[in-house]
Chain A
Amino acid sequence: MSIDRPTTDPSQRPAHERPLLEINGLSVDFRLETSVVHAVRDVSLHVRAGETLAVVGESGSGKTATALSVPRLNPSPPCVYASGEILFDGRDLLALSERELGRIRGRDIAMVFQDPMTCLDPLQRVGAQVAEVLRHHTGMSRAEARDAALDALDEVGIPDPALRYRQYPHELSGGLRQRVMIATALVGRPRLLIADEPTTALDVTVQSQILDLLVTLQDKHGMAVVLITHDLAVVAETADRVAVMNQGKVVETGDVLDVFDRPADDYTRKLLAATPRLEAV
């Protein structure tokens, strides 16, 4: 059987520590006009503080619908959370009011998406978009938020943050935009980061830098990360544990080493076999 390994020095993290996020028996339906799509079927997952859980699957596997259920961001209607619970720090997010959830979303739980161009406001300077998060969640003054936003841009490795602060998203390359997104997500010091295909739209050298950045920032701040990806190589590079999804179900979950060394499920084996490798095995 697989052993659930803590992510950092085991002496600091007792094995009985309660997960930060615990999804139990989650089912999500999309009720369309003529049919119902069971996008997520009885999914159970958990992530501990400081740990990276990769949710991997192909298009339509339900990985994004699962991840978006945590901050309840699936478009509703048509989305219905049919059953299950999502415990964040012991509280069931599915039972919270929109107002209560609004206090958690963006502050305790932050998100990074695949395409930064569609997530950043094209009409706002990027610095203002980072500062807005702080103003909204912490009630900082304009000047304090500005300073903190500049620090955040600096922390994600954006050269000349003062210049970039004043620029608009279209003036930035894809890699810089993704860094701005990450700055926006992390500026509120979230305890959980949900990253949905954060490097899929990027060139391979830029992807490598962004993955480095995510790993570094996670180690620095100790947040939990749920990484949604279709790329098993990205999983191998970054995750502690992995959940493989297919047709709305988790078909296999476990420690990355165990799943890669001894995949128990046929679909996992098929995915591993289909992933092209740079070197002959």
Chain B
Amino acid sequence: MTTEAAAPAPPAGKVLLELVGLRKEFGTRTVNVAVDDVSLEVHEGETLALVGESGCGKTTLTRLLLRLVEPTAGSVRFDGQDLTALSPAGLRAVRRQMQVVLQDPYASMNPRMRITDIVAEPLVTHDPQARGRRARARTRERVGELLEAVGLDAGIQDRYPHEFSGGQRQRVSIARALALRPRLLVLDEPTSALDVSVQATVLDLLADLQGRLGLTYVFVSHNLAVVRQVADRVAVMRRGRLVEVGATAAVLRTPRHPYTRQLLDAVPVLDPRRGRRAAERGSWTSAADRGSLTGDESR
């Protein structure tokens, strides 16, 4: 990536995930190129944000890097191993190390499963030791630890998802994703279904977990203000291609690609003195000031 070389602070950790010339086509008669020649490195311990609008291919890219879909061309390397060349057993071993948290905490868990079974499911799937009646006590203990790690009460294990709010459910999703002690978490719009005050607490939790557990995040988002807050580096996608990759501060402050500029300009500004009503406000302010001086407009 040429833009990456120009980024001021080179990422510290070693390369954990490497995408090389990834391409994904969908459709047979009319071919739709969802991901087009994407090459990208994700370093251990960093948060890389993948930014773009709907249909730009960011979710397909995450599915490719988890190898949930087969690439049309290119390769995915996780810790040096080529995912596309692995045996099923080898792939299972790698997959333990990469987990995913999805956007909608209502759709991403089975409503008929108890919290304990939801969080324990990856353990049971990947670890024969966690199966069966005798393993039950140990599994419950581990689930309790995980729930506490994400700020929930260990005592909620026998309750069902519908008893919890969106933010609490997203914490359950995170606990489930952490069950296998992964190294990489793919966070696909993890907070965009949440209220802003809840979003803030979940983002804090993710930052805290990353620090404590040394996790690497691929953070998919359409919200550049959230990205600014969480990401070390940002990759901007448009129509299946990466248009710009670099350190978050640099990309947001001095975007190189016109599309990045366009995205940034479109973000509403949390300041009534700027943005689309700013010009009018200038005149109101002065009018109101005059009003308050003469007292004729105050109530």
Near A by CB (< 8 A), chain B positions 213-257 give 222-226, 228-229, 252
Near A by CB (< 8 A), chain B positions 258-292 give 262-277, 280-281, 283-285, 287-288, 291-292
A167 CB to closest chain B CB (Å) equals 19
What residue in chain B is nearest A58 (Cβ atoms)? B195
> In the complex, which residues of chain A have a beta carbon less than 8 angstroms from the beta carbon of B276?
211-212, 215, 237-238
A3 touches B228 (CB 8 A): no
Q: Is A207 an interface residue (CB 8 A)?
A: yes
What residue in chain A is nearest B291 (Cβ atoms)? A3
> In the complex, which residues of chain A have a beta carbon less than 8 angstroms from the beta carbon of B283?
9
B277 touches A238 (CB 8 A): yes
Q: Which of B195, B197, B272, B291 has most A Cβ within 10 Å?
A: B272
Contacts A203-B222, A271-B196, A278-B228 given: A236-B297 contact, CB under 8 Å?
no
Q: Is B148 an interface residue (CB 8 A)?
A: no
Interface size on B, residues (CB 8 A): 46
Contacts A3-B288, A274-B197 given: A237-B277 contact, CB under 8 Å?
yes
Contacts A5-B297, A211-B276, A215-B277 given: A237-B269 contact, CB under 8 Å?
yes
A237 touches B225 (CB 8 A): no
B270 touches A275 (CB 8 A): yes
User: In the docked arrangement, what's the CA distance between A203 and B266, Å?
Assistant: 9
> In the complex, which residues of chain B have a beta carbon less than 8 angstroms from the beta carbon of A207?
266, 268
Q: Which of B222, B223, B271 has most A Cβ within 10 Å?
A: B271
A236 touches B224 (CB 8 A): no
15 pairs from A and B in contact (CB 8 Å cutoff)? A5-B284, A5-B287, A9-B283, A15-B291, A58-B197, A206-B53, A207-B268, A208-B268, A230-B195, A232-B196, A237-B275, A255-B288, A256-B272, A257-B273, A271-B196
Q: Which residues of B are at the interface with A, using a C-beta cutoff of 8 A?
A: 53-54, 166, 195-200, 222-226, 228-229, 252, 262-277, 280-281, 283-285, 287-288, 291-292, 296-299
Q: Which residues of A are at the interface with B, using a C-beta cutoff of 8 A?
A: 1, 3-10, 15, 58-59, 174, 203-208, 211-212, 215, 230-234, 236-240, 255-257, 260, 270-279
